[in-house]
């Protein structure tokens, strides 16, 4: 594995040089006013990226998994019921976490490759006249299958059913790369991680919380201390932090948001769509298809490529790493071997994506897959040529 090559895993992403520098800072006294001066812009920036109109942001030194745990342990009590669809490894894991913490999860199983089943969710909510369901969990972007779900649609389902459940969204692999609208979608808790669209190293869970979710913390009886929202918000109000914060990641987050906003959030989203579309053109040129069941489900941050019959995606990933020093993602769980995954999120360029496609093609040829060298690259080149805005790339 050479650090000279970009990575094409669906996170952690390639870290821009200036973000690495922002994170790499000398020790700063987190009990001094200097900390508050550094912290506030990060929190305010997250609020803008999530498009929050009200509510609070907390930053916890952990990961997306910690963010999931914080969402439920702060707002729910043992035995509470939540509704969740399962259609990939990461939706599966959040459900598993809920069960370990003593929640009753009503699981709607959908085929992997599908997104959140809106009709079934609405039906389940309508059937819950007594309001047993306290929260609906939704995986905005299922990283395992490269599928995005319609969070606005889930909000509509809740509204159509007139159901008061909270809406918790796992946006770990979507937020800051794909459009997200906390306010408009009526999200109650959004969970993001530092190492995806925010382009930072792993180590920070980034969480948006609605007033309704904050209210729920008052009565929630699941135990928590490290993840306690109340401690966080009380400390933040005084310019502090309940324990030792990950100062470098917080400084990096503020800088990452500066970069995102300098490019323009809409432009960032459009760039992800453009880069993803080039990858998809390559996949089709290879005679393969994205694993996502239909184009409206295509994720703009990761493409799970369904490999030809008789081929094994995991072999490609291993060969790419061992022979060419390039990292792709393997298929996880029930799609192990059936797909390989190309991450295309974070501060990526056309040149970088093309090198990933070129390496994937060499691996396919090496493994005897029926693919013509250069074919996917050419399809992506053709698309990028026509779509890349001149001078789009600032000297980051």
- Least distance from C-beta 43 to a second copy, angstroms? 18
Query: Least distance from C-beta 193 to a second copy, angstroms?
Result: 7
The CB-based long-range contact list for 104-108 (8 Å cut-off, 24+ gap) reads 104/79, 104/80, 105/81, 106/81, 106/82, 106/133, 108/83, 108/84
Smallest distance, a second copy to C-beta of residue 249, A = 7
Query: Which residue's CB is nearer to a second copy, number 7 or number 276?
Result: 7
Q: Whose Cβ is closer to a second copy: residue 9's or residue 307's?
A: 9
Min dist. Cβ of residue 209 to a second copy (A)? 18
C-alpha 82/C-alpha 104 separation (Å) is 6
Q: How far is the CB of 226 from a second copy (least distance, A)?
A: 5
Helix axes 64-75, 229-237, angle to 10 degrees: 100
Q: Nearer Cβ to a second copy, position 73 or 299?
A: 73
Are the beta carbons of 134 and 82 closer than 8 angstroms? yes
**Rounded to an integer, what distance in angstroms lies between the CA atom of residue 243 and that of residue 256?**
24
Query: Are the C-beta atoms of residues 8 and 327 closer than 8 Å to each other?
Result: yes
Query: Closer to a second copy at the Cβ: 13 or 210?
Result: 13
Taking the C-alpha atoms of residue 239 and residue 228, their distance in angstroms, rounded to an integer, is 17
Nearer to a second copy, 277 or 361 (CB): 361
| Closer residue to a second copy (CB): 4 or 237 | 4
- List of residues 6+ apart from 242 with CB closer than 8 A: 228, 231, 232, 234, 235
- Given a contact cutoff of 8 angstroms between Cβ atoms, the answer to whether 171 and 163 are in contact is no
Using CA atoms in the order 341, 346, 347, 353, what is the torsion angle rounded to 10 degrees? Answer: 10
Provide the minimum distance between the beta carbon of 302 and a second copy in the complex, in angstroms, as a whole number: 14
Closest CB 90 distance from a second copy, rounded Å: 10
Q: Which is nearer to a second copy, 187 or 364 (CB)?
A: 364
- Which candidate, 116, 167, 121, places its Cα nearest to that of 142? 116
């Amino acid at each position: 594995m050479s650090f000279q090559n970009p990575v094409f895993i669906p996170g952690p992403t390639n870290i821009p040089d200036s973000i690495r520098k922002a994170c790499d800072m000398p020790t700063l006294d987190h009990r001094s006013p200097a900390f508050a001066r550094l912290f506030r812009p990060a929190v305010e920036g997250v609020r803008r990226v999530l498009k929050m109109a009200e509510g609070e942001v907390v930053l916890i030194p952990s990961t997306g998994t910690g963010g999931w745990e914080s969402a439920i342990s702060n707002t729910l009590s043992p035995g509470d019921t939540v509704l969740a669809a399962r259609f990939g490894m990461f939706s599966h894991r959040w459900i598993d976490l809920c069960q370990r913490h003593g929640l009753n999860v009503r699981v709607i199983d959908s085929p992997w490759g599908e997104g959140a089943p809106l009709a079934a969710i609405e039906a389940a909510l309508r059937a819950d006249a007594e309001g047993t369901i306290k929260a609906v969990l939704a995986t905005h972007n299922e990283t395992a299958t490269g599928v995005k779900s319609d969070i606005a649609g889930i909000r509509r389902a809740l509204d159509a059913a007139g159901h008061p459940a909270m809406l918790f969204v796992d946006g770990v692999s979507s937020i800051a790369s794909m459009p997200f609208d906390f306010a408009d979608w009526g999200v109650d808790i959004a969970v993001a991680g530092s190492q995806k669209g925010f382009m930072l190293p792993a180590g920070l869970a980034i969480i948006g919380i609605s007033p309704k979710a904050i209210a729920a913390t008052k009565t929630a009886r699941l135990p928590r201390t490290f993840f306690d929202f109340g401690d966080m918000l009380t400390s933040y109000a005084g310019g502090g932090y309940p324990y030792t914060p990950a100062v470098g990641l917080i400084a990096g987050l503020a800088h990452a948001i500066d970069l995102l906003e300098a490019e323009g959030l809409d432009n960032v989203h459009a760039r992800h769509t453009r880069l993803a579309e080039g990858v998809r053109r390559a996949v089709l040129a290879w005679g393969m298809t994205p694993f996502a069941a239909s184009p409206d489900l295509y994720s703009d941050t990761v493409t799970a490529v369904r490999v030809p019959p008789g081929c094994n995606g995991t072999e490609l990933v291993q060969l790419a790493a061992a022979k060419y020093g390039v990292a792709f993602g393997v298929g996880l769980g029930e799609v192990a071997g059936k797909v390989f995954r190309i991450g295309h999120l974070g501060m990526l360029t056309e040149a970088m994506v093309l090198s990933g496609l070129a390496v994937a093609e060499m691996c396919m040829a090496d493994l005897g897959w029926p693919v013509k060298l250069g074919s996917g690259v050419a399809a992506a080149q053709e698309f990028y040529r026509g779509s890349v805005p001149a001078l789009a790339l600032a000297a980051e």
